[in-house]
Structure 1
Amino acid sequence: KRSIKDKEIKIEDVWEQYRLISTITLKPEAIPFNVKIVLVGNPHLYYLLYNLDEEYRELFKVKADFENRMDRNKENISKYASFVKTKCDKIGLRPFDQNAVAKVVEYGSRLAEHQNKLSAKFIEIADLLREADHWAKRDKSSLVTAEYIEKALNEKEYRANKVEKKILEAVKEGTILVDTHGAVVGQINGLSVLDLGDRRFGMASRITARTYAGKAGIVNIERETKMSGKIHEKAILILTAYLGGKYASKTPLSLTASLTFEQLYGGVEGDSATCAEVYTLLSSISGVPLKQSFAVTGSMNQHGDVQPIGGVNEKIEGFFEVCKLNGLNNNHGVIIPSKNLIHLMLKSEVIEAVTAGKFNILSIEKIEDGIEPLTGMPAGEIQPDGTYPEGTFNFLVAKKLEELSKAIKDKKDENGEKNNKKNNED
């Protein structure tokens, strides 16, 4: 920083400036220093330096933000095609046909995680072009087709999927417990994403709930064992508020419920499992089983509105791989927030399974929208008198909560009578 401000480089002992008396007898002449310095880094590092170092903002006054993705329009698609052509000419790759370029554009949207965006990570695009050319060369093809783009993507995944394969093996052997058939009370398949740096993939996790009469409210087992992050803890509080607002307008909540991610030996963070946790809890309260052929992902607010989450493609594909272990049928699927539909850029294999009706992707706006697909029962709309119609899921939940509240009240009255009787005897 001194060199930039003084516009010269001084060759000296770094500790000399801190000494009271100089011990240097010979001091080399300063070297003129007149340069422009460009710092490249991520936004987090920029704001860290900007706020902690006053001289930083004086020395680096010009800031330029670069987008890591662009709109997917005709102009930028044309630029993508031009990039492919330029790269082929520059490093001597085979020509890419029209379908291959279209496949590259699709990959750009997958990197951007948005159907209407393209990634600006051109290093990754260039790596894909090189590998696709390699497979075309092995087949002695004069053109790189969409088949070779698909081959390159599959081979790249194969080289980095060791951890994913081990997890799937454990699921198949039954070491990791994940059900994809039948229906169970108080149990659901949640979804998470494991990011290894060079590879991201989705995993299915069993979420369970137990409920009984009590006053402790909803107990987050991960929080009690200090394995839960702040965002996940907030999600549990939102869940509690939703439950009270929807079912306790006339009768106070009098229950104790426990929620946990089974076979979790690390930490849990984020709110993307909130919807799954709500369904698990409501199933445990009502006694209505949930279909294990579905997995659920999604955040929510206190009013039951379902909110978008990240990693939706990896989560869907992760559960798809789990379902494949025991054979796909038309009952398997994933429930996602409707706001995430624009982010879907799935693998060809998943798209083909959905098209054939072997795998389902359901989108929901509100928590109630997922109840019937998971239980086979209508959710039930609240009536003017504050009750729910008989034969609906919400009716069973409200009825059970009333029973729990009455059990607590009766126990309290019984204890009160015993205390009064004892006082009278004394």
Structure 2
Amino acid sequence: MSETDCRVPVEKLRWVCDPALFNFKTTEDIAGLEGSVAQHRATAAIDFGLGMPNNGFNIYLAGDAGTGRTSTIRQMLQKYVKDTSPPSDWCYVHNFHSPDAPLALALPAGMGKELAADMRELLDYMRSDIPTALESKEYETNRVTLIEQFQEKNGDIFSALEKEAAERGFALQRTVSGLVIVPQKEGRNFTQEEYEALEKNEREQLDSVGRALTERLNDCLRQVRENEKLLRDALSQLDRELGLSAVGHHLDPLKEKYVGFQKVQKYLDDVQEDLLLNLEDFKPQAAPPQIPGLKLPKQEPTFERYEVNVLVENNPENGAPMVFESNPTYTNLFGRIENIMQMGGMASTNFTLIKPGALHRANGGYLIVDAREVLINPFAWESLKRCIRNMEIKIEDVLEQYRFMTVVSLKPEPIPLNAKIIMIGSLWIYYLLFHMEPDYRKFFKVKADFDNRINRTPEVMHDYALFVAAHCCKEGLLPFDATGVAALLEHASRLVEDQELLSSQFTELSDLIREASYWAKRDGAEVVDRSWVKRAVHEKTFRSNRIEERIQEYLAQGVILCDTKGSVVGQINGLSVMTLGDYAFGRPSRLTIRVSQGRAGMVNIEREVKLSGPIHDKGVLILTGYLAGKFAQDQPLSFSAHICFEQSYEGVEGDSASSAELYGLLSALSGLPIRQGIAVTGSVNQHGQIQPIGGVNYKIEGFYNVCKAKGLTGEQGVLIPKINEHNLMLSDEVVQAVQEGMFHIWSVQEVDQGIEILTGVAAGKMGEDGSYPEGSVNFLVQQRLKKMFDNMRRLAQQDKEQAKEEGALPLPEPGPLKD
């Protein structure tokens, strides 16, 4: 195959989008995009995951940033929730039986705030009605009557005791220590002297009577205490009947309203009982005693226990909730219990200070979080797994286990979890979790894989136009005409380096739309056409290519050695790609190969100094396999070859230079010079087939810029693998240079085709006797290898004979090459 046959035609150097494919004048004439662009695999997985009700079928959206993961799930959920019912409202209320464990109540959407309003109204009624009822004349009359009745009973008891004591010569008297029985004599108390003057039997009789009366007094006191208890019970019953008449009038309608909600009914019963037990709290409170110079606040009873904390409120007009949590910290996901600092530095809390998390708001719907953010926030991932496993949301103080002492706090009742968790992240995080996290595969069984490239079809191209229209309309940008959309599609094809594919990196494409609109608007244009898209690409390149220009200057000045003219033996220009953040460019690198007699084989200088990666090492070792298969069928290889990337001060990785290394080695062995105006890229296998590489456009344009700086001669160009032709999306400048014959692109499938272009000498086909046509590249290589082997054999024989004469051990015969 001749050099001309291997040239890539101009029409294959890039794909040019025909604006006539679009049936609009500007994007203002078409509607915006609905849904995602050709992510059928991902959307099918999402649809399956959303439809699976079973626990564990949560969804992981995997893909590169900017491929439309968030926008796609948002649009699909908006359509999906239209036909769904809103989930329940959730409220926390006071637990009258266990105050530190608030109760969780579930109510239909919209009824949570109604319950809270009803309880506020009830409390307002109680605070106004109960004091009025307690101050009523009827209540006061009944209360006084009960008190008088019990006082009369107590008076009768003490009257009977006093009468009995008087008859027996004693009196009932009140002292500081209480009531006592005292003996009497002539209407007065016995004195100590009179008592001691009595006869012994008289004293004993007097003491006996006193003890009997004292026991009778104790019986009376016990009866009085029982009467007082009966009085308190009677007064409490009176208050209860009064409270029931006041409370029941307002609570009974609430019980009827919330009939069917057993937990709410139980809560209302507890509220009623607590109100009846604490009616005194509704009475006006007396002012505390004032200390001169210090104003003390008035102590008022608290009624917070009757409030309702509406934790989650859902709109009954909407469907299932969608919650996008951008900062998934522990408290943002699972809620928190706030505290109020009081005088003296003491903190207090109650159930009204319980705040919801994203999981509470998404309960009954969908929670979307970023996988990386969840993993880097302490406790978030482990707690999320626990919630999914137990199917409940528990609000806890996560730092409690790290304190030296336990702090009394609330333990709210867990809320059942029924939500679909959707995580957005990269494929790397997905595989990392899948292999390293044992529970992950149980809880996230659906993977929606977003591709960063999609097949170019007429339908997809139309969707891209709709995407441009939607973006311009949403952000108020200038509309694009058909040529502008075509230029955008060509750029999308260049991003993925494939003429049949388009990039789905919509973030980058959106930026290009904005920048093109900016440049067009700044210069007074009303429509964005192809020229403005090209201008935006050029300006973005200019903002990022300072390092590239500096390297090009060094190449043009000869600081970095790179010949673009003439021919040299054992020297060739390889190509590599440098990536600096969001910008990549190609640059040539000089490869030199020196061959000599010996048994060292292929010596990779980069490998010897540890500047070579494993893939590059593999590519160098493949060269030995190629030479052995082609030239060592009848005799072993016996040579030393040193391969080096000149002026390389950083690591070398990849096998895209292996074909250039092989061409340089064949040149060094054959003695044929290589055209320095041709740069080479492509990997090679042991059979001499040229294999595809990446970054072909950057490499070609990088070498073209060097040739342009040093002067185009019409003989320069780049040698690429044949299979990379469909990856060509070259710049307009390079395409024009090729069209004018000032630059060339050759594509080859085998090493023999490439060496012919580089040397201008036929490679030569192996004959039946294993030889090659005289004068061909392969013939010269074979002869050089044979000559090296013969020389090594002759030298080994001489050393053997010399050693024999001197009685020393002979050198070994020349054999296979060392690694």
Length-normalised TM-score, structure 1:
0.96
Q: Which residue of 1 aligns with 2:788?
A: 404
Aligned equivalents of 1:227 and 1:388: distance in 2? 37
**Taking structure 1 as reference, are residues 122 and 33 closer, same or farther at Cα in structure 2, changes over 3 Å only?**
farther
Match of 1:32 in 2: 415
CA distance in 1 between partners of 2:768 and 2:610 (Å): 43
Change (3 A) 1:25 1:144: closer
CA distance in 2, matches of 1:295, 1:38: 49
Corresponding residue number in structure 2 for 1:158: 542
Deviation at 1:76? Answer: 0.5
Q: Which amino acid aligns with 1:198?
A: D
Residue 728 (structure 2) aligned to one of 344, 347, 352:
344
Asked if 1:197 is matched to 2:552, the reply is: no
Task: Return the offset for 1:422.
Answer: 1.7
Q: Does 1:87 align with 2:477?
A: no
- C-alpha displacement at 1:145, in angstroms? 1.3
Distance in 2 (CA, whole Å) between partners of 1:342 and 1:195 is 22
Q: Which amino acid aligns with 1:11?
A: E
Give 3-state SS (helix, strand or coil) of 1:54's partner. coil
Helix, strand or coil: the match of 1:70? Answer: strand
Quick one: which amino acid aligns to residue 396 of structure 2?
I
1:42 correspondence with 2:426:
yes
C-alpha distance in 1 between matches for 2:658 and 2:730: 23
4+ runs deviating over 4 angstroms: none
Q: Which residue of 2 is the match for residue 415 of structure 1? A: 799
SS at match of 1:177: coil
Match of 1:11 among 392, 396, 408: 396
TM-score, length basis structure 2: 0.50
Q: Secondary structure at the match of 1:265?
A: coil
Higher alpha-carbon deviation: 129-138 or 26-35: 26-35
Specify which structure has the bigger relative contact order, considering alpha-carbon pairs within 8 angstroms and separated by 6 or more residues: 2
Q: CA deviation at 1:3?
A: 3.2
| Structure 1 position 105, deviation (Å) | 0.9
The answer to whether the 8 A contact 1:241-1:302 is kept is: yes
Deviations 1:140-159 (A, max 9, x none): 11121111111111111000
Matches within 5 A, 1:387-398: 387-398=771-782
Aligned residues of 1:11 and 1:30 also touching (Cα < 8 A): no
Give the direction of change, closer, same or farther, for the CA distance of 1:140–1:212 in structure 2 (3 Å limit). same
Pair 1:141-2:525 in alignment: yes
Question: Which 10-residue stretch deviates more, 336-345 or 124-133?
Answer: 124-133
- CA distance in 2 between partners of 1:189 and 1:273 (Å): 9
CA distance in 1, matches of 2:439, 2:634: 61
- How far the C-alpha of 1:24 sits from its partner, in A, is 4.4
In 2, distance between residues paired with 1:161 and 1:84? 27
Are residue 66 (structure 1) and residue 450 (structure 2) matched?
yes
Structure 2 distance, partners of 1:168, 1:154, is 17
Alpha-carbon displacement from aligned partner over 1:359-385 (angstroms, at most 9, x marks no partner): 100000001011111001111111111
Compute the displacement of 1:130 (Å): 1.1
Q: Which residue number in structure 2 is paired with residue 333 of structure 1?
A: 717
Unaligned runs of 5+ in 1: none
Structure 2 residue matching 1:40: 3-state secondary structure? strand
Assess if the C-alpha contact under 8 Å between 1:3 and 1:33 holds in 2.
no
With over 3 angstroms needed to count, the CA separation of the structure-2 counterparts of 1:398 and 1:83, relative to structure 1, is same
Deviation at 1:30, TM superposition (A): 5.3
Instruction: Please tell me whether residue 100 in structure 1 is matched to residue 474 in structure 2.
Output: no
**RMSD, aligned CA:** 1.6
Q: CA deviation at 1:263?
A: 0.8
Contact 1:12-1:27 within 8 A present in 2 as well:
no
Q: For the Cα contact (< 8 Å) 1:331–1:360, is it kept in 2? A: yes
Of 368, 386, 390, 1:2 maps to 386
Given that residues 394 and 412 in structure 2 are in contact (C-alpha distance below 8 angstroms), is that contact kept between their aligned partners in structure 1? no
Deviations 1:32-63 (A, max 9, x none): 37343211122122111100111111121111
Query: Do the aligned residues in 1 keep the contact of 2:591 with 2:646 (CA within 8 Å)?
Result: yes
CA distance in 2, matches of 1:40, 1:267: 34
Q: Residues of 2 paired with 1:33 and 1:155: CA distance?
A: 55
CA distance in 2, matches of 1:269, 1:366: 23
Partner of residue 303, structure 1:
687
Please tell me whether the aligned partners of residues 379 and 394 of structure 1 are also in contact (alpha carbons under 8 angstroms): yes
Q: Write the distance in 1 (CA, Å) between the matches of 2:552 and 2:473.
A: 42
Q: Percent of aligned positions with the same letter in both sequences?
A: 48
Distance 2:400 2:436 in 1: 24
Change (3 A) 1:224 1:33: farther
CA distance in 1: counterparts of 2:438 and 2:458, whole angstroms: 44
Q: Classify the secondary structure of the residue corresponding to 1:269.
A: coil
Residue identity opposite 2:412 in structure 1: E
Say which is worse superposed, 90-99 or 366-375, in terms of deviation.
90-99
Contact kept? 1:182, 1:291, Cα under 8 Å: yes
8 A contact 1:231–1:270 mirrored in 2: yes
For 1:159 and 1:356, how far apart are their aligned partners in 2? 30
| Superposed displacement of residue 14, structure 1 | 3.9
Q: How many residues end up aligned between the 2 structures?
A: 422
Please give the alpha-carbon distance, in whole angstroms, between the structure 1 residues aligned to 2:387 and 2:807. 87
The separation in 2 between residues aligned to 1:338 and 1:153, in whole angstroms, is 28
Structure 2 Cα separation of the partners of residues 349 and 54 of structure 1: 54
* In the alignment, structure 1 residue 292 sits paired with structure 2 residue 668: no
Return 5+ residue gaps in structure 2 as ranges. 1-384, 809-819
1:373 partnered with 2:757? yes
Contact 2:400–2:406 (8 Å) recurs in 1: no
The amino acid that maps onto 1:348 is D
- Please state how far the C-alpha of 1:85 moved relative to its aligned partner: 1.5
Shift, 1:312, TM fit = 0.7
Would the aligned equivalents of 1:290 and 1:375 in 2 still touch at CA under 8 Å? yes
1:131 Cα deviation from its structure 2 partner = 1.0
CA distance in 1, matches of 2:415, 2:763: 77
3-state SS of paired residue (2:587): strand
**Per-residue deviation at 1:31?**
5.5
* Letter of the 2:428 counterpart: H
Query: Which residues of 2 match residues 105-144 of structure 1 at below 5 A?
Result: 105-144=489-528
CA distance in 2, matches of 1:42, 1:207: 38
